[in-house]
Amino acid sequence: MANIDELLATLANPKEGTEGDKESQFELDPLDRVKTPVLSKAVRADLDDVLIQFNNKSKYRSWGLNYIRKQGTAILLKGPPGTGKTTIARWLAHRVGKGFKMLNIGHVGSGDAGGTEKHINQFFADCAKRRNATIFIDEADSILLSRKLEGIELSFQLGTTNTLLSNISDYRGLIICATNLEEMLDEALDQRFLKIIDVGQPDYAMRCALWRAKIPTQFPLQYDKRQFADIAKLELNGRQIESAILNLGLRCISKTIKPTIELLYQEAKRELSKVINHVRSIRTR
């Protein structure tokens, strides 16, 4: 049996290739329990256009449209946190049916010179081998920062951004980027996106639909759908609506009481208060 010194030495000096048999360790992310997003008409129309392009690539090329946008399909979802960008990405990947893989700086970052670029190239190559799986780059602003920004480590950023731009241009599958800081993205991305889709805060009609969609069918809340007319006036997004429902469930379980619309309205108002207090704290900084 190895002694403690040998074990520590092994950890300090891992065998060459351990980091990566990256291809053998590479697995697509599961796409089970995909939710159908609640969408505005404008966003739904844009997503339908994306699916039309993706599912009709031969005609797209024969009409010469690939000279405007290359063979792949890249889109940008922009909007505040909690507005359903990840849900939309997973739903699109499910509709395309090619598998799904999320990319962020934690997957590809490296402290070695050129290491991040190498990992990015390997990531795209692995996705390509898996039927051009759909790639989701969440918080794209953290990995595709504009090369014009000041105060960033340019040697790192230039290499990373250039490598990603090249891979995005050449990839034959669907690439979905998401951000709530569009102004931080590199300007060269604009010409690589088939669509830039604004996933804004939900309007009143969408909030009514979100309340109905987010409450689990097993949740013991007796309600008439018309009762959401008042609660939907509170300007909450999908994530905040989920929080209100979850907090109501926890409150009722702890107090052994039945959930009611009145109690749900209280939790919704608490979520709205958090938003208002957050905005106030930003303004007073």
Residue 217: give its domain's CATH number: 1.10.8
User: Could you give the CA distance from residue 74 to residue 71 in angstroms, rounded to a whole number?
Assistant: 10
Contact 126, 25 (CB under 8 A): no
| Residue 187 located in a structural domain | yes
Instruction: Quickly state the pLDDT bin for 18 (edges 50, 70, 90).
Output: very low
Tens digit of each residue's pLDDT (9 = 90 or more) over 141-157? 877 776 666 555 555 67
Q: Is the dihedral of CA 248, 253, 255, 261 positive or negative?
A: positive
Q: Are residues 40 and 162 in the same domain?
A: yes
Q: Are residues 105 and 42 in the same domain?
A: yes
Q: Among residues 140, 129, 122, which one has the least CA distance to residue 192?
A: 140
Tens digit of each residue's pLDDT (9 = 90 or more) over 119-175? 899 999 999 999 999 999 998 887 777 666 655 555 567 778 888 889 998 898 999
Maximum Cα interatomic distance, the chain, rounded to a whole number of Å: 69
| Residue 58 located in a structural domain | yes
Q: What is the mean pLDDT of residues 273-285?
A: 73
Domain of 181: which CATH number? 3.40.50.300
Q: How many other CB atoms are found less than 10 A from the CB of residue 71?
A: 13
Q: Are residues 165 and 266 in the same domain?
A: no
What is the domain range of residue 229?
204-283
Q: What is the mean pLDDT of residues 106-127?
A: 83
Q: Tell me how many domains the chain contains.
A: 2
Q: Are residues 188 and 210 in the same domain?
A: no
pLDDT at 268 over 60: yes
Q: Are residues 143 and 73 in the same domain?
A: yes
